[in-house]
């Protein structure tokens, strides 16, 4: 259905179904042409994306994955940015059939953290070595209303523990009014993140059966309001498993094109959650459109090729193996050591308050050891947003391939901070080995510049970046 109403984002469902039915090309020559085009880093059109989503030949798939890997390394280099979600509250007025936090679910104990509890949770995360938090909440706030979220952000930024602090707070909360988005901007958030869940209107109606979240248009226009309020970095996402993923990624592209046309820049990140079992949710145990592991890898690879400059976020919903495989295909940010229950990091609260079950239960240190061994540079960098390199400014640096240079150096300085302040002995040993290898592979000028910055961190200075 084409909806031209100003109060929505036009998602042309008919066009998507038509592309999937009539425009998919399967010949090898065409697919190879599409992959060659993707290497120009200019993205792909609807027909090209639909055709890639139909590839099943193992050799062609391998070529597609290799191309995604090349694009990823070309733009992002070897760094992987790490963050932790912080669930401040599981109160919610909505009825999303896939989520344990939905209003009618009696199997989950409800809790909104006090500011003192938020502080304790943040201290626990800082002591692990985290520098970036994604604040998450259900859609219902304690008596102070939306101010609760603003207070939580203020509390998070105020915590100093040892040599650490949180330097960037991203936020995943329900759609806000323009005025509320302005307040969120004033609270100095990094990215505002919101998943449309499904772009298929009819499915959306079936899985959201109560509360304000039933309003598809209020949700899909949230990014417009956020950007109008001056929040440059927004993060979109799809909850895979609710509807056909081939439809979803084409609809996501329409959403992205809409933002690019209106604001001159698309989303900063895309999240790719797959439906996970959640307490008291039949739907999450039996997803209507389950996404297989191979299709999941295809999704990440296609998104990498279709929107090369947009970060892709992988959460701990996935197992260590799937995470490892998708890092190579295009993921640029990952969560680690996560808990999805309010109070989960201080260990006082139990699992029966969690939003869904996790696939990766390893600690931050274990994840860092693993990704270092795989050849990536763990990064806690927050430089761009604090230097105002957001939105169009970020893309202007990213597009000519310049951001990679900043990212690699900042990844190394923040990795050194981690090794000096928090790492276990094996991670410290491996980490320093990796850093020496990376330094020795750099051209001389760059190596000297990076070495000087690393030396500053080693001698006790913190938060060193370019
Ligand atoms: N309440 C806000 C909302 O719904 O937008 C923000 C927080 S909500 C906890 C964050 C995201 O969790 C949702 O957008 C949804 O995609 C995801 N989610 C909910 N249930 C899930 C499940 N069973 N498995 C995986 N992800 C889930
Ligand atoms: Fe509430 Fe968000 Fe869960 Fe829906 S997904 S029930 S809005 S917390």
Output the pLDDT for position 86: 97
Looking only at Cα atoms, what is the longest distance across the chain? Answer: 63
Q: What residues have CB less than 8 Å from 21, skipping those under 6 apart?
A: none
Residues of the chain where predicted confidence (pLDDT) is lower than 70: 1-6, 348-352, 397, 400-404
Q: What residues have CB less than 8 Å from 94, skipping those under 6 apart?
A: 102, 103, 138, 139, 174, 208, 210, 211, 212, 213, 214
Length of the chain in terms of residues written: 466
Alpha carbon of 294 to ligand 2 centroid (Å):
28
| Residue 262, Ramachandran bin (φ over 0: left; ψ between -120 and 50: alpha; else beta) | alpha
- Reported as a single tens digit per residue, the pLDDT across 190-208 is 999 999 999 999 999 999 9
- Dist CA 386 CA 53 (whole Å): 37
Ligand 2: which of 85, 88, 96, 353 to mutate, most ligand atoms within 8 Å of CB?
Answer: 96
Write down the domain spans for the chain.
13-72, 78-390, 398-458
151 CB near ligand 2 (under 6 Å)? no
Among 118, 84, 105, smallest CA distance to 342 is for 118
* Token pair for 337: 């050591």
pTM listed for this prediction: 0.96
- Provide the 3-class DSSP secondary structure of residue 438: helix
Output the pLDDT for position 466: 84
- Provide the 3-class DSSP secondary structure of residue 136: strand
175 CB near ligand 1 (under 6 Å)? no
Output the pLDDT for position 358: 87
- Provide the 3-class DSSP secondary structure of residue 313: strand
Alpha carbon of 355 to ligand 1 centroid (Å):
8
CATH number of 78-390: 3.20.20.70
- Closest ligand 1 atom to Cα of 197: 16
User: Whose C-alpha lies nearest to ligand 2, atom 6?
Assistant: 102
Output the pLDDT for position 38: 98
Please name every residue paired with 171 in a beta bridge, in sequence order, or none if there are none.
135, 192
């Amino acid at each position: 259905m084409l909806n031209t109403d100003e109060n929505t984002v036009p998602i042309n469902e008919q066009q998507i179904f038509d592309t999937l039915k009539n425009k998919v090309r399967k010949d090898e020559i065409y697919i190879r042409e599409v992959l060659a085009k993707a290497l120009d880093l200019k993205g792909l059109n609807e027909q090209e994306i639909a055709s890639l989503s139909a590839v099943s030949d193992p050799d062609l798939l391998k070529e597609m994955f290799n191309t995604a890997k090349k694009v990823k390394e070309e733009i992002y280099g070897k760094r992987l940015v790490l963050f932790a979600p912080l669930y401040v509250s599981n109160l919610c007025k909505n009825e999303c059939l896939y989520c344990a936090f939905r209003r009618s679910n009696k199997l989950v104990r409800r809790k909104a953290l006090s500011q003192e509890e938020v502080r304790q949770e943040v201290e626990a995360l800082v002591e692990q070595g985290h520098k970036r938090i994604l604040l998450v909440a259900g859609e219902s706030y304690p008596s102070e209303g939306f101010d609760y979220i603003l207070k939580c952000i203020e509390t998070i930024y105020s915590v100093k523990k040892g040599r650490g602090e949180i330097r960037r707070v991203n936020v995943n909360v329900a759609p806000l009014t323009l005025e509320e988005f302005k307040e969120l901007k004033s609270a100095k958030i990094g990215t505002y993140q919101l998943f449309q869940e499904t772009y298929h209107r009819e499915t959306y109606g079936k899985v959201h059966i109560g509360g304000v979240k039933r309003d598809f248009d209020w949700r899909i226009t949230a990014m417009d309001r956020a950007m109008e309020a001056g929040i440059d970095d927004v993060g979109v996402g799809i909850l895979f498993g609710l509807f056909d993923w081939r439809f979803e990624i084409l609809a996501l592209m329409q959403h992205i094109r809409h933002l690019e046309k209106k604001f001159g820049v698309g989303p900063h990140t895309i999240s790719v959650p797959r439906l996970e079992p959640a307490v008291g949710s039949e739907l999450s145990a039996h997803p209507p459109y389950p996404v297989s592991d191979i299709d999941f890898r295809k999704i990440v690879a296609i998104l990498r090729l279709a929107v090369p400059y947009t970060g892709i976020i992988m959460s701990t919903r996935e197992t260590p193996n799937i995470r490892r495989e998708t890092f190579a295909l295009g993921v640029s940010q990952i969560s680690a050591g996560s808990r999805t229950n309010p109070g989960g990091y201080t260990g006082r609260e139990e699992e029966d308050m969690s939003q869904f079950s996790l696939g990766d239960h390893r600690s931050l240190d274990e994840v860092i050891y693993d990704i270092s061994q795989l050849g990536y540079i763990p990064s806690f960098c927050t430089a761009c947003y604090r230097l105002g390199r957001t939105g169009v400014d970020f893309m202007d640096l990213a597009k000519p391939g310049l951001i990679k240079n900043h990212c690699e150096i900042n990844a190394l300085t923040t990795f050194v901070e981690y090794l000096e302040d928090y790492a276990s002995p094996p991670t410290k040993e491996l980490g320093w080995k990796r850093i020496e290898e990376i330094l020795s592979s750099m051209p001389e000028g760059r190596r000297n510049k990076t070495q000087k910055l690393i030396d500053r961190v080693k001698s006790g200075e913190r938060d060193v970046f370019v």
